[in-house]
Amino acid sequence: MQIRRMSAVAVVAAAALTLAACGDDSGGGSGGGGKVTIGIKFDQPGIGLKQGEKYSGLDVDVAKYVAKELGYKEGDITWKAAPSKQREQLIKSGQVKMVVASYSITDERKKEVSFAGPYFIAQQALLVKKDSGITDLQGLQGKKLCSVSGSTSATKLKAKVPGVNLQEFDTYSKCAEVLASGRIDAMTTDDTILSGYANQAAYKGKLQVVPGVGGDEIYGIGIKKGDTATCKKINDALKKMVQDGTWKKAVETNLGSEYKIDSSKNPPQPAACS
Amino acid sequence: MSTLFDQFDVWGAFWMTIKLTVLAAVFSLVIGTVVAIMRLSPVPVLRFLGTSYVNVFRNTPLTLIVFFSLIGLWQTLGIELSAQLSVNAFRFAVIGLSVYHAAFVCEALRSGVNTIPLGQAEAARSIGLTFGQSLREIILPQAFRGAITPLGNTLIALAKNTTVVVTIGVAETAYLMSKVNEDAADQLTNVFILSAVFFVVLTIPIGLLTGRLSKKLAVKR
């Protein structure tokens, strides 16, 4: 009997602990002290990259600046991996307060989450070997192209150049690896991500970005649907970031000197919150 | 639900899963039978090779095997099975799945062989049948009949394991799910339910059929 009672106490205590842990994990209150969890990419050089305990990239710098403006100290930020396929779920379930992960604003996604920003406008581009001779979209005819399973950029290119031969993997890193080995001719996604690979030590000087093969990718900060208060605060923070020059510096350091920034579109004006 | 069918190639994805399952089932049955024969043979080298095969492929994650079949054989060694990259990836996926499940088929068959009393093999040899003849005429027919249920298990596992080949970009059911997730996250629950129903519809008949066959074909002793 005694043992049974003790175990009952233990179960209750364990349950309480688990619940408490849940409380800590949630995105936290809005602004002012406390901790905040932000979703970023962990595997995209130049955008959001985790190396050991260090995080770097454009998204990381933007997220840090915005968090600071919202009243969180840098040490209070918990970074969480937000792979493309989990971004909506992370926001909806409240596991992260915001997602800054090369997150393009689309009408489909607006049904699920709200966006603050945009903070950057990227374009779809190609990454090719330096001596490949591919300079534009038509150069892809009959060539081998790599992209990530289910990604929209590959579908769009395939519609424009039907003769392209498409191979897909689950990560862009695999594409970059196969591209460097010469088994495929090009890979496609946003120019920001591609510049990140072109600047990586392993590929530096071997790969080259071919811009202007598709439409714009408008990066926003994903937040809970209908949270206009946070959206406005983030937009103010973004405006301030552009004004005081931090934005320009972040873009230049993270995307590299060879990255040709489209200055007719960048820095973008944050859209109205809804 | 209907927008899902309008916007995405749902039937194509399901058909691809079925093609992968059927082709990999046939090839893994052939490879598995050969490996089982090697493990049963009186030649020590063949036994060693068979055992090594089973130990290597049964204990390696399928993701690794599927990915290696493309990266190792195609990228590094330059073996190309089709100039069309999507067909190329599909064929390597079938190879990866077959090679992995052959290890399980082999073990299922060996369990079937173990149901046969040792005296039968001895009797077969004593009336002058060779190893090959006794295998063909006495051992394997009974082994297959005794191994129907474990073979059915392997087939069901194979059907579900085909979802792993999304890593090399074969457009099957898991690929469909990731595409819906990327392009229309509001349809996510629908596509999950739909895929679950599809797999249940695919695998339950396999279970029922192998259950009935194993009863009907059971070796009466």
User: Number of Cβ pairs closer than 8 Å across A and B?
Assistant: 62
Supply the CATH number for residue B142's domain.
Answer: 1.10.3720.10
3-state secondary structure string across chain A: CHHHHHHHHHHHHHHHHHHHHHHHHCCCCCCCCCCEEEEECCEECCCEEEECCEEECHHHHHHHHHHHHCCCCHHHEEEEECCHHHHHHHHHCCCCCEEEEEEECCHHHHCCCEEEEEEEEEEEEEEEECCCCCCCHHHHCCCEEEEECCCHHHHHHHHHCCCCEEEEECCHHHHHHHHHHCCCCEEEEEHHHHHHHHHCCCCCCCEEEECCCCCEEEEEEEECCCCHHHHHHHHHHHHHHHHCCHHHHHHHHHHCCCCCCCCCCCCCCCCCCC
Chain A residues with CB inside 8 Å of B76's CB?
181
Q: Which residue of B has its CA nearest to A163?
A: B84
Residues B38-61: tens digit of each pLDDT: 999 889 999 999 999 999 999 999
Residues B128-147: tens digit of each pLDDT: 999 889 999 999 999 999 89
Tell me how close the Cα of A177 comes to any Cα of chain B, in angstroms. Answer: 10
pLDDT of residue A248: 87
Q: First-to-last CA distance in chain A?
A: 59
Between A258 and B217, residue with greater pLDDT: B217
Q: Decide: B117 and B139 in contact? Cβ < 8 Å.
A: no
Mutate one of A114, A169, A179, A187 to test the B interface: name it (highest B CB count within 10 A). A169
Which CATH class name applies to A123-210?
Answer: alpha beta
User: Could you write out the DSSP letters of every residue in B21-89?
Assistant: HHHHHHHHHHHHHHHHHHHHSS-HHHHHHHHHHHHHHHTS-HHHHHHHIIIIIIIIT---S-SSHHHHH
Residues B3-15: tens digit of each pLDDT: 888 888 899 999 9
Tell me how close the Cα of A175 comes to any Cα of chain B, in angstroms. Answer: 10
The fold of A31-121+218-255 is D-Maltodextrin-Binding Protein; domain 2 (3.40.190)
pLDDT of residue A2: 58
Q: Which of A85, A144, A169 sits opposite B167 (nearest CB)?
A: A169
Q: Structure tokens of A188?
A: 């496609």
CB-based contact (8 Å) between A253 and chain B? no
Residues B152-197: tens digit of each pLDDT: 999 999 999 999 999 898 999 999 998 888 778 788 889 999 999 9
Using pLDDT thresholds of 50, 70 and 90, give the confidence band for residue B103.
Answer: very high
Q: Structure tokens of B123?
A: 């009797």
CB-based contact (8 Å) between A178 and chain B? yes
Closest by alpha carbon to B177, among B54, B16, B50, B61? Answer: B16
Chain B residues with CB inside 8 Å of A88's CB?
185, 188
Domain count, chain B: 1
Chain A residues with CB inside 8 Å of B164's CB?
none
Q: Do A169 and B85 lie within an 8 Å CB cutoff? A: no
pLDDT of residue A60: 92
What domain range is B191 assigned to?
A: 2-217
Chain B residues with CB inside 8 Å of A178's CB?
71, 75
Q: Per-domain residue ranges for chain A?
A: 31-121+218-255, 123-210
Cis omega before residue B150 (within 30°)? no
Chain A residues with CB inside 8 Å of B167's CB?
149, 169-170
ipTM: 0.75
Report the pLDDT averaged over residues B188-213: 93
Distance, C-alpha A100 to centroid of its chain: 5
pTM exceeds 0.90, yes or no:
no
Residues 6 or more apart whose Cβ sits within 8 Å of residue A271: A105, A115, A117, A118
Q: Do domains A31-121+218-255 and A123-210 have the same CATH topology?
A: yes
> Strand pairing partners for A98?
A38
Q: Do A144 and B85 lie within an 8 Å CB cutoff? A: yes
pLDDT of residue A4: 61
Q: Do A149 and B166 lie within an 8 Å CB cutoff? A: yes
Q: Which residues of B touch A (CB under 8 A)?
A: 71, 74-76, 78, 83-86, 88-89, 166-169, 175, 178-179, 181-186, 188
Q: Do A150 and B167 lie within an 8 Å CB cutoff? A: no
Tell me how close the Cα of A79 comes to any Cα of chain B, in angstroms. Answer: 22
CB-based contact (8 Å) between A112 and chain B? yes
Q: Structure tokens of B175?
A: 């690929």
Q: Which of B168, B181, B183 sits opposite A169 (nearest CB)?
A: B168
Per-residue pLDDT of chain A (274 residues; tens, 9 = 90+): 455 665 555 555 555 545 444 444 444 444 455 889 999 999 888 889 888 888 988 999 999 999 988 888 888 899 999 988 888 889 999 999 999 998 989 888 888 899 997 999 888 888 998 888 888 888 888 888 998 887 778 888 888 888 888 888 888 888 998 898 888 999 998 888 888 888 888 888 888 888 878 788 899 999 999 888 889 989 999 998 988 888 888 888 888 777 777 777 778 888 888 7
CB-based contact (8 Å) between A170 and chain B? yes
Tell me how close the Cα of B148 comes to any Cα of chain A, in angstroms. Answer: 36
